[in-house]
């Protein structure tokens, strides 16, 4: 734990990724303490260009720092602005650096502070709102946005890795993020907390319903402000990371439906902050966007930065992966979600299968255990082991269930927020937890975590059957042709220390979990059949696997239709129906060549009543006549199809 307290500030070094103009102008530096209305003094530095101000006064840039940092983080950036003719300013937020007061953990208190800093700039420069840029990341992105939503007037705002739901994000869906524990556990030489925030860490370690209720009550107060986002009417540039271990990008996606469409621009993808991939190509792209944004909104230079066709830019991760990072592709869209996104439901089946149709067999549930080997173990003890090693293994055992889709027949892009509909029960009392990891698996077996969905039920009675529809961490990813989507149900949401390349799998969390686990032992059930089907819901473009359900209407009998198109090159579709028989409806469809040799099995599964469609790809076969045969119970039928290349 102490290791992460020391290094966390390195990962939080969100130093305003604006493109550095690197002008050649001279400027003067002034260090001073600014006294706020409550008597607290903030440590400030301003850089004033020399010479005669332009008509209307100097353009101004106020840079705000991330949590646990100080004004010195952004000072080089401020000097770059000053050398390019901007009056620029940095300051240390209350309770951080040598600024007085106590931190209220990124709240309305700090938002009121920055309003007074902006008012000082206006009076000092004798300028109006149309000349002021405010920019920052993490705390430095949230606080200005919160201030604008509660009355601060400036020309434009650039906010990185921020969320208007930041308080709720740290305790999302009943869980407690590891990063919340780290961030409220800084030593006093980094952050000085107020008395309420000082209680957060012991409340987390207490691991009790009472203390959880205190967190869920106090943490969002004066920190969540999604309901105020409609007050932000100024031009705003948003840059968020899918892999952010602090704040779910879903908050900014929700904001996109509230903010004025003509004044905003959104980037979701890869960027430096909160444990996400640092990708130089994406950093260069964003730097150019920021330069164009400032040219347009501050300098009045006409360009294409407000092009409606690039209102939303998103980067999607994909294999290959090296040095523990993905490869990234960039896309553009005038709307969110992007055109072509379909909601795909993936259902759990026995035999570790994940299908786009519900399971129709007799098995009712799948089960994994939350094994607590030492009932006296504490959360603090597990945290200090980093959730690995012999000391950890003696206290807690990780268990997981794995489910795979068939191989994808073409590239599919996930863009947006995954959801899970859980129909569940557990033998645990008071708390049960369901962690769902979404992985990409290559044909050679290499796998890598994409994103996750977490649900912790803290109001649970043992063996109670409940339902929950819960959001996951928003993300974009390209599942390549031949890949499989893998779902893991687990009692501990972490990843192995090393991946298939021998690289550190997660250089930020390492072996620590995304969500702190439940310490209530129990068998966790997920129901999978008939009217109690659990499923995963993914926003996908161009998703095609072997079988999909066309209709849930119950047909009168088994049937096999003629493939279409026929003849075909190289793909065709085969449709079949399954009635309600009151038994297991195990269907097998096999493809044979002209000699009667079996070449592939298209279908081999229990089906609920309905109409289904299977894809056959003849890319690897020669032209000619083929036969496909459906067999189930007392029914069988064979049909002919022709592949012409």
With a cut of 50, say whether residue 15 has pLDDT above it: no
Let me know how long the chain is: 645
How far apart are the C-alpha atoms of 69 and 89, rounded to whole Å? 16
Question: How far is it, in rounded angstroms, from Cα 515 to Cα 173?
Answer: 10
CA–CA separation, 390 and 553 (whole Å): 54
Query: Which residue bears the tokens 């208190």?
Result: 109
- The pLDDT value recorded for residue 9 is 39
Query: Which CATH number does the domain housing residue 474 bear?
Result: 2.60.120.260
Q: Are 80 and 41 in contact (CB under 8 A)?
A: no
Evaluate the omega torsion of the peptide bond into residue 240 and state whether it is cis, within 30 degrees of 0. Answer: no
Lowest mean pLDDT among 21-25, 550-554, 606-610: 21-25
- Cα(580)–Cα(167) distance, rounded to whole angstroms? 49
Q: Which pLDDT score is estimated for 328?
A: 97
φ, ψ for residue 43 (rounded to 5)? -80, 115
Tell me which residue of 574, 572, 510 sits closest to 182, measured CA to CA.
510
Question: What's the pLDDT at 17?
Answer: 36
User: Residue 604's pLDDT band (boundaries 50, 70, 90)?
Assistant: confident
Measured CA to CA, the distance from residue 332 to residue 179 in angstroms comes to: 31
Distant-in-sequence, close-in-space partners of 535: CB < 8 Å, separation ≥ 6: 345, 346, 347, 348, 358, 420, 421
Distance CA 81, CA 89 (A): 9
Sheet with 598-606: strands ordered across: 598-606, 586-593, 624-632, 635-643
- For residue 118, is pLDDT > 80? yes
* pLDDT of 18 strictly over 70: no
Count of CA atoms in the C-beta half-sphere (13 A) of 451: 31
C-alpha to C-alpha distance for 159 and 175, rounded to whole angstroms: 26
Out of 519, 541, 563, a domain closes at 541
Confidence of residue 23 (pLDDT cuts 50, 70, 90): low
Q: How far apart are the first and last CA of the chain?
A: 62
- The two beta strands, 312-322 and 264-269, are parallel
Residue 165, CA distances (Å) to 72, 417, 515 in order: 27, 15, 17
Residues 534 and 576 in one domain: no
E strand or H helix at 239 = strand 236-241
Angle between helices 139-149 and 108-125 (to 10 degrees): 80
Verify that 367 and 229 share a domain, yes or no: no
Can you tell me the distance from the alpha carbon of 180 to that of 45, in angstroms, rounded to the nearest whole number?
A: 30
3-class DSSP state of 74: coil
Residues 424 and 288 in one domain: no
The predicted pLDDT at position 316 comes to 98
| 581, 639 Cβ separation under 8 angstroms | no
Q: At residue 486, what are phi and psi to the nearest 5 degrees?
A: -115, 130
In eight-state DSSP terms, residue 38 is: T
Residues 325 and 346 in one domain: no
Tell me what percent of the residues of the chain surpass a pLDDT of 90: 83
The number of distinct structural domains making up the chain is 3
Average pLDDT over residues 598-608: 86
Q: Is the CB of residue 245 less than 8 Å from the CB of residue 510?
A: no
Q: Which segments of 65-189 are extended strands (E)?
A: 87-91, 132-137, 156-160
- Tell me the helix, strand and coil percentages in the chain, rounded to 5: 20, 35, 40
* 476-489 average pLDDT score: 95
User: Is pLDDT of 11 > 50?
Assistant: no
Residues 85, 86, 92, 98, Cα dihedral to 10° = 40
Q: Is the pLDDT of residue 6 over 50?
A: no
For residue 3, is pLDDT > 70? no
Residues 483, 559: one domain?
A: no
Question: Are 162 and 302 members of one domain?
Answer: yes
In which residue are the tokens 């601060």 written? 152
Range of 121-130, 348-357, 508-517, 582-591 with top mean pLDDT: 508-517
Report the alpha-carbon distance of residue 626 to residue 645 in Å, rounded.
14
CB 496 within 8 A of CB 447: no
The verdict on 552 and 537 lying in the same domain is: no
Does the bond joining 567 to the residue before it have cis omega, within 30 degrees of 0?
Answer: yes
Report the pLDDT value the prediction gives residue 563, as an integer from 0 to 100. Answer: 97
**For position 246, what pLDDT does the model report?**
97
Is the distance from CB of 545 to CB of 405 less than 8 angstroms? yes
Is the pLDDT assigned to residue 16 strictly greater than 70? no
Alpha helices in 199-316 (DSSP H): 200-206, 209-218, 250-256, 280-297
pLDDT tens track for 264-281 = 999 999 998 899 999 999
- The C-alpha torsion from 90 through 230 and 221 to 72, rounded to 10°, is -10
Kindly report, residue by residue over 403-440, the tens digit of the pLDDT.
Answer: 999 888 889 999 999 999 999 999 999 999 999 999 99
pLDDT band at 500 (very low <50, low <70, confident <90, very high): confident
| pLDDT over 70, % of the chain | 96
Last residue of a domain, one of 284, 312, 333: 333
Q: Is pLDDT of 1 > 80? A: no
Mean pLDDT throughout 124-143? 91
Radius of gyration, CA atoms only, the chain: 28
Residue 5: is its pLDDT beyond 60? no
pLDDT bracket for residue 126 (50, 70, 90)? confident
Among 333, 355, 380, the domain boundary falls at: 333
Q: Is the pLDDT of residue 19 over 90?
A: no
Where on the phi/psi map is residue 546: left (φ > 0), alpha (ψ -120 to 50), or beta?
alpha
Which of 300-309, 329-338, 613-622 is predicted least confidently?
613-622
Q: Give ∠ CA 228-232-237 in degrees, rounded to 5.
A: 120
Same domain for 522 and 590, yes or no, is no
Least confident of 199-203, 493-497, 531-535: 531-535
The mean pLDDT value for 305-333 works out to 94
Q: CATH code at 586? A: 2.60.40.1930
> Around 59, how many Cα atoms within 13 Å sit in the side-chain half-sphere?
19
Residue 360: pLDDT band (50, 70, 90) is: confident
Largest CA distance in the chain: 93
Question: How do strand 522-527 and strand 419-426 relate by DSSP bridges?
Answer: antiparallel
Tell which residue, 430, 372, 521, 524, has the closest CA to residue 208.
Answer: 430
Residue 190, phi then psi, degrees to nearest 5: -105, -50
The upper half-sphere exposure of residue 149, i.e. CA atoms within 13 Å in the direction of its Cβ, equals 25
Q: What's the rounded mean pLDDT across residues 150-176?
A: 97
Q: What is the mean pLDDT of residues 101-107?
A: 98
Q: Which of 607, 495, 489 is nearest to 559 (CA)?
A: 607
DSSP string, 414-454: EEE--EEEEEEEES-SEEEEEEEEEEEE-TTS-EEEEEEEE
User: What is the Cα–Cα distance from 563 to 576, expressed in whole angstroms?
Assistant: 10
Contact of 236 with 156, CB cutoff 8 Å: yes
The C-alpha atoms of residue 384 and residue 5 are separated, in whole angstroms, by: 12
Do 131 and 225 lie in one domain? The reply is yes
The three-state secondary structure class of 215 is helix
Residues 478, 524, single domain; the answer is yes
Q: Are 446 and 496 within one domain? A: yes
160 and 222 part of one domain: yes
Q: Is 271 left (phi over 0), alpha (psi -120 to 50) or beta?
A: beta
Q: Would you call the peptide bond into 283 cis, given omega within 30 degrees of 0 as the criterion?
A: no
Question: What's the pLDDT score for residue 77?
Answer: 96
Structural domain boundaries enclosing 313: 2-333
CATH number of the domain bearing residue 236:
3.40.50.1820
Query: Which of 1-15, 224-238, 397-411 tops mean pLDDT?
Result: 224-238
């Amino acid at each position: 734990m102490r290791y992460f307290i020391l290094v966390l500030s390195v990962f939080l070094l969100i130093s305003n990724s604006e493109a550095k103009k690197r002008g050649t102008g001279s400027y003067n530096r002034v260090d001073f303490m600014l006294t706020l209305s409550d008597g607290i003094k903030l440590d400030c530095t301003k850089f004033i260009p020399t010479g005669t101000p332009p008509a209307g006064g100097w353009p101004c840039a106020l840079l705000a720092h991330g949590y646990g940092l100080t004004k010195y983080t952004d000072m080089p950036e401020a000097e770059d602005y000053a050398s390019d003719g901007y009056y620029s300013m940095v300051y240390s937020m209350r309770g951080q650096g040598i600024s007085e007061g106590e931190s209220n953990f990124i709240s309305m208190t700090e938002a009121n502070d920055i309003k007074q800093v902006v008012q000082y700039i206006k009076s000092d420069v004798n300028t109006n709102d149309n000349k002021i840029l405010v920019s920052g990341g993490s705390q430095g992105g949230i606080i200005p946005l919160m201030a604008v939503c509660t009355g601060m007037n400036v020309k434009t705002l650039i906010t990185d890795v921020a969320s208007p739901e930041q308080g709720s994000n740290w305790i999302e869906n009943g869980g407690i993020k590891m990063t919340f524990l780290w961030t409220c556990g800084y030593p006093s030489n980094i952050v000085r907390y107020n008395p309420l925030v000082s209680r957060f860490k012991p409340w987390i370690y207490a691991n009790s319903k009472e203390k959880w209720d205190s967190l869920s009550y106090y943490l969002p107060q004066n920190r969540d402000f999604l309901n105020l986002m409609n007050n932000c009417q100024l031009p705003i540039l948003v840059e968020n990371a899918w892999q952010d271990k602090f704040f779910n990008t879903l908050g900014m996606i929700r904001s996109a439906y509230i903010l004025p469409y003509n004044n905003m621009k959104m980037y979701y993808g890869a960027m430096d902050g909160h444990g996400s991939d640092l990708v130089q190509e994406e950093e260069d792209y964003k730097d150019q966007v920021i330069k164009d944004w400032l040219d347009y909104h501050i300098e009045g230079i006409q360009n294409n930065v407000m092009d409606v066709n690039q209102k939303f830019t998103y980067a999607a991760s994909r294999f290959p992966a090296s040095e523990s990072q993905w490869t990234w592709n960039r896309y553009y869209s005038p709307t969110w979600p992007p055109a072509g996104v379909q909601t795909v439901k993936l259902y759990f089946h026995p035999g570790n299968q994940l299908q786009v149709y519900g399971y129709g067999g007799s098995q009712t549930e799948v089960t994994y255990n939350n094994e607590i080997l030492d009932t006296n173990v504490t959360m603090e003890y597990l945290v200090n082991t980093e959730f690995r090693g012999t000391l950890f293994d003696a206290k807690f055992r990780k268990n997981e269930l794995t489910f795979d889709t068939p191989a994808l027949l073409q590239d599919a892009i996930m863009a947006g927020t995954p959801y899970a509909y859980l129909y569940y029960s557990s033998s645990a009392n008071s708390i049960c937890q369901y962690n769902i990891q979404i992985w990409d698996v290559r044909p050679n077996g290499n796998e890598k975590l994409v994103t996750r969905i977490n649900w912790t039920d803290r109001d649970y009675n043992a063996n109670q059957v409940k339902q929950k529809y819960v959001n996951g961490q928003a993300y974009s990813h390209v599942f390549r042709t031949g890949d499989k989507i893998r779902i893991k149900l687990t009692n501990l949401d972490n990843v192995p220390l090393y991946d298939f390349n021998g690289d550190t799998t997660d250089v930020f969390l390492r072996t620590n979990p995304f969500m702190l686990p439940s310490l209530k032992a129990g068998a966790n059930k997920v129901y999978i059949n008939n009217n109690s089907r659990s499923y995963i819901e993914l926003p996908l473009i161009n998703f095609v696997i072997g079988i999909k359900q066309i209709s849930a209407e119950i047909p009168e009998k088994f049937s096999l239709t003629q493939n279409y198109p026929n003849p075909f090159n190289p793909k065709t579709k085969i449709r079949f129906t399954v009635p309600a028989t009151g038994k297991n409806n195990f269907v097998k469809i096999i493809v044979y060549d002209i000699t009667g040799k079996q070449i592939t099995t298209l279908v081999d599964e229990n089906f609920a009543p309905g109409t289904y469609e299977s894809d056959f790809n003849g890319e690897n076969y020669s032209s000619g006549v083929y036969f496909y045969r459906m067999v189930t119970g007392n029914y069988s039928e064979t049909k002919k199809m022709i592949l012409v290349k």
